[in-house]
Amino acid sequence: MTITTCIFDAYGTLFDVAAAARIAAGEPGRERLAEVWPKLAQDWRLKQLQYTWLRAITGDHISFWQVTQDGLDWAMEASGLEDPELREVLLALYWELPAYGEVPEMLHVLKSKGYQTGILSNGAPDMLEGAVNFAQLGDVLDAVLSVEDVGIFKPARAVYDMVGNRFGCAPGEVLFVSSNGWDAAGAAAYGFRTAWVNRAGEPLDRLPGTPAHILSDLTSIPHLAETL
């Protein structure tokens, strides 16, 4: 079945989630953060994801923005950072995460080749709008889909259902791309063709679905879509 639609996870896939801590650490007077920012960024992201999984299991759904704040609070405490002003700086920077360098050209190439493109994300609609606008990607995305429309986080099947409902395509027509191994696995089990962007060189997750393709960045996505 020919690929008609290329769908991307947002955070960590199109947008650099470590950038908020890295940028803040470079500001004057942030010497303490500069010492620990990689740990802070890693802990923040891990807790953010863990809280989405746990809330999906328990049915206690809240906005991804609240999950993001809760994850940061845990990460700051774990790094011994008690600084309300820094907390506000980090949260503000999360609304302006830069896209990875290859993202704009990759999406422009996909659009020039006639593919439908979109984001499917745990992010809240206003967060996603902010990220897309900051990265100036609105003209190369046909839709930005948020789990808020179904009230449960990935990898629930109801989230992946949103792609077919919006684009009118079968799962086999979708190339789904994520930097999260568990997300790529969930999408593969759902029936999407999948690519895992394994930027960190992590091991493959032991889950029912297996990503069909493993990449180091997004550069080759247009070529991959043509060959499937």
**Mind listing the domains of the chain with CATH numbers?**
5-15+97-227 (3.40.50.1000), 19-94 (1.10.150.240)
Q: If we measure between CA atoms, which residue out of 120, 130, 50, 58 comes closest to residue 91? A: 130
pLDDT tens readout for residues 201-223 = 999 999 999 999 999 999 999 99
Q: What is the mean pLDDT of residues 182-187?
A: 98
* 183 is a catalytic site residue: no
pLDDT band at 182; cut points 50, 70, 90: very high
Write the DSSP assignment of 173-194 as a string of letters: GEEEEES-HHHHHHHHHHT-EE
Ordered strands of the 213-215 beta sheet: 143-146, 116-121, 5-8, 174-178, 193-197, 213-215
pLDDT tens readout for residues 58-95 = 999 999 999 999 999 999 999 999 999 999 999 999 99
- What's the rounded Cα separation, in Å, for the pair 110 and 211? 21
Pick the catalytic residue: 9, 16, 43, 183? 9
- What's the rounded Cα separation, in Å, for the pair 53 and 57? 6
Cis amide linkage into residue 211, ω under 30° from 0: no
